[in-house]
């Protein structure tokens, strides 16, 4: 019998990758329930599905693959105890999020070399943002305490230095609530009070990394020049005052590139194959998953482009149009996100 895979219908190209190897059931995120998952051998989900005991206890599921970088919607400890493998798609949409960051920056300046960029979190996304910023002539400050402890302090600074010296501060951390590197409300009242250069604040990480009330107070008190938000506390029920005041406001779609979605599906399919199709050792070729309107295979690079400029980013992505759509219809947050017209990454 073929393995049965229940997957979020918004994860594209699953049928193209696994259709001849698995029995596939595509469902809206809200319909991936304890009942529908009970007889699944594997799940492919997004952040809108909470994978935990409530969903999976008693199920025959052997693997949960999320077609996202983040995994805070998965109870990994419970899954491990239950013998369920968990996999994500690290770096799949990192170039797209970096594209969003510089499209947002392009909305406030066409002279990036005159700005100091503070990057908080130097994982897949933050590393690309830092690299592109340096290539555009920006002075880049990078804060990532876990990496600094592991790799040495050279090339890293602390958050206090970024608060003191940065003109633009962009967050690219996971969401964690415990431990010395907890990121919940990392940008909170204390952080905003420590700012010295009235910077712009960008959040394309997780909504609760920035404290909405503290950010609004910082705007009121002139501590920050403006905010650019893709990830919101409480989404899809987002704060309307913050929405109104944001320079850039998008419905959690910073990583929504066609190339990123293809990478994510390919990564999820590979992990599904390792667990449920061990006899099938073939690699999933990302360059032969999707075709364009003319029937040509879409080229999907493994990593981010080189030689990116502010102009090439601005020409590749109209971030103002996405902002206008959300500001016009904030009640449509989920619909705008779920039915987003995937853009191409900057080349």
What is the pLDDT averaged over residues 200-229? 98
The strand pairing partners of 26, in sequence order, are 7
222 and 265 housed in the same domain: no
74 and 50 housed in the same domain: yes
Q: Does the residue 102 lie in any domain?
A: no
234 and 143 housed in the same domain: yes
pLDDT exceeds 90 at position 312: yes
pLDDT confidence of residue 193: 98
196 band by pLDDT with thresholds 50, 70 and 90: very high
Q: Does the residue 142 lie in any domain?
A: yes
pLDDT confidence of residue 287: 60
What is the pLDDT averaged over residues 128-151? 97
Overall domain count for the chain: 2
Instruction: Compute CA 201 distance to the chain's CA centroid, rounded to the nearest angstrom.
Output: 17
In percent, the amount of the chain with pLDDT more than 70 equals 97
Q: Which of 246, 271, 301 is the C-terminal boundary of a domain?
A: 246
User: Catalytic: which of 115, 172, 185, 206?
Assistant: 206
113 and 214 housed in the same domain: yes
Rounded Cα distance, 269 and 90, in Å: 13
Looking at residue 200, the DSSP 8-state letter turns out to be E
141 and 179 housed in the same domain: yes
113 and 58 housed in the same domain: no
What three-state secondary structure class fits 4?
strand
133 and 228 housed in the same domain: yes
pLDDT confidence of residue 299: 75
- DSSP calls for 267-330: HHHHHHHHHH-TT--PPP-GGGS-B-TTSPBPP--SSPPSS--HHHHHHH--HHHHHHHHHH-G
Q: Does the residue 13 lie in any domain?
A: yes
Q: With contact defined as beta carbons under 8 Å apart, do 66 and 45 qualify?
A: yes
121 and 207 housed in the same domain: yes
226 and 139 housed in the same domain: yes
Work out the end-to-end distance of the chain between its first and last CA atoms, rounded to an integer number of angstroms. Answer: 43
Burial of 1 (0-12, 13-18, 19+ CB in 10 A): exposed
> Across the chain, which distance is largest between two alpha carbons, in Å?
64
Q: Residue 83's domain is classified under what CATH number? A: 3.40.50.720
288 band by pLDDT with thresholds 50, 70 and 90: low
Q: Does the residue 153 lie in any domain?
A: yes
Rounded Cα distance, 188 and 74, in Å: 25
Residue keyed to tokens 């933050």: 126
16 band by pLDDT with thresholds 50, 70 and 90: confident
- DSSP calls for 255-272: T-BHHHHHHHHHHHHHHH
Domain, as residue range, for 167: 108-246
In percent, the amount of the chain with pLDDT more than 90 equals 89
What is the pLDDT averaged over residues 139-160? 97
The answer to whether residue 259 is catalytic is no
User: Catalytic: which of 115, 147, 172, 252?
Assistant: 252
Residue keyed to tokens 């109870």: 75
In tens, the pLDDT along 55-110 reads: 999 999 999 999 998 898 999 999 999 999 999 999 999 999 999 999 999 999 98
pLDDT confidence of residue 131: 98
Question: What is the chain's mean pLDDT, rounded?
Answer: 94
The answer to whether residue 4 is catalytic is no
Least reliable range by pLDDT among 223-237, 245-259, 285-299:
285-299
- 283 or 26, which is more confident: 26
31 and 55 housed in the same domain: yes
Q: Does the residue 68 lie in any domain?
A: yes
284 band by pLDDT with thresholds 50, 70 and 90: low
pLDDT exceeds 60 at position 128: yes
User: Catalytic: which of 235, 259, 271, 345?
Assistant: 235
188 and 283 housed in the same domain: no
pLDDT exceeds 70 at position 118: yes
Rounded Cα distance, 93 and 262, in Å: 9
pLDDT exceeds 90 at position 296: no
User: Residue 254 contacts by C-beta under 8 Å, 6 or more apart in sequence?
Assistant: 93, 96, 97, 100, 101, 204, 230, 231
Q: Does the residue 294 lie in any domain?
A: no
Q: Does the residue 253 lie in any domain?
A: no
Residue keyed to tokens 């667990």: 275
Q: Does the residue 323 lie in any domain?
A: no
178 and 217 housed in the same domain: yes
pLDDT confidence of residue 237: 97
The answer to whether residue 296 is catalytic is no
142 band by pLDDT with thresholds 50, 70 and 90: very high
Rounded Cα distance, 118 and 86, in Å: 32
């Amino acid at each position: 019998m073929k393995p049965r895979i229940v997957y979020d219908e918004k994860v594209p190209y699953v049928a193209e990758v696994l259709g001849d190897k698995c029995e596939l059931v595509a469902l809206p995120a809200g319909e991936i329930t304890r009942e529908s998952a009970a007889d699944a051998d594997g799940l492919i989900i997004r952040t809108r599905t909470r994978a935990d005991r409530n969903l999976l206890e008693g199920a025959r599921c052997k693997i949960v693959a999320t077609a996202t970088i983040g995994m805070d919607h998965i109870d990994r400890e419970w899954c491990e105890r239950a013998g369920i493998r968990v996999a994500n798609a690290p770096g799949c949409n990192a170039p797209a999020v970096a594209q969003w960051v510089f499209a947002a920056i392009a909305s406030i300046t066409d002279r990036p070399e005159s700005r100091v960029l503070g990057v908080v979190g130097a994982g897949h996304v933050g590393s690309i943002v830092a690299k592109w910023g340096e290539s555009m002539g920006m002075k880049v400050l990078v804060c990532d305490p876990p990496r600094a402890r592991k790799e040495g302090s050279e090339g890293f600074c602390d958050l206090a230095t970024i608060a003191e010296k940065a003109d633009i501060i962009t967050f690219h951390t996971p969401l964690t609530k415990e431990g010395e590197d907890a990121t919940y409300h990392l940008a909170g009242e204390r952080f905003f009070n420590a700012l010295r250069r009235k910077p712009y604040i960008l959040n394309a990480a997780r909504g609760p990394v920035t404290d909405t009330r503290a950010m609004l107070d910082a705007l009121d008190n002139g501590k920050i020049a403006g905010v650019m938000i893709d990830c919101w506390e409480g989404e899809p029920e987002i704060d309307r005052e913050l929405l109104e005041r944001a320079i850039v406001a998008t419905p959690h779609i910073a990583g929504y590139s066609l190339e990123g979605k293809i990478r994510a599906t390919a990564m999820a399919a590979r992990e599904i194959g390792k667990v449920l199709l061990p006899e099938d050792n073939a690699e999933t070729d990302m360059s032969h998953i999707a075709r364009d309107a003319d029937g040509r295979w879409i080229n999907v690079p493994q990593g981010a482009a080189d030689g990116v400029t502010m102009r090439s980013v601005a020409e590749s992505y109209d971030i103002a149009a996405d902002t206008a759509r959300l500001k016009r219809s904030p009640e449509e947050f989920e619909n705008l996100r779920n039915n987003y017209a995937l853009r191409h990454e900057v080349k």
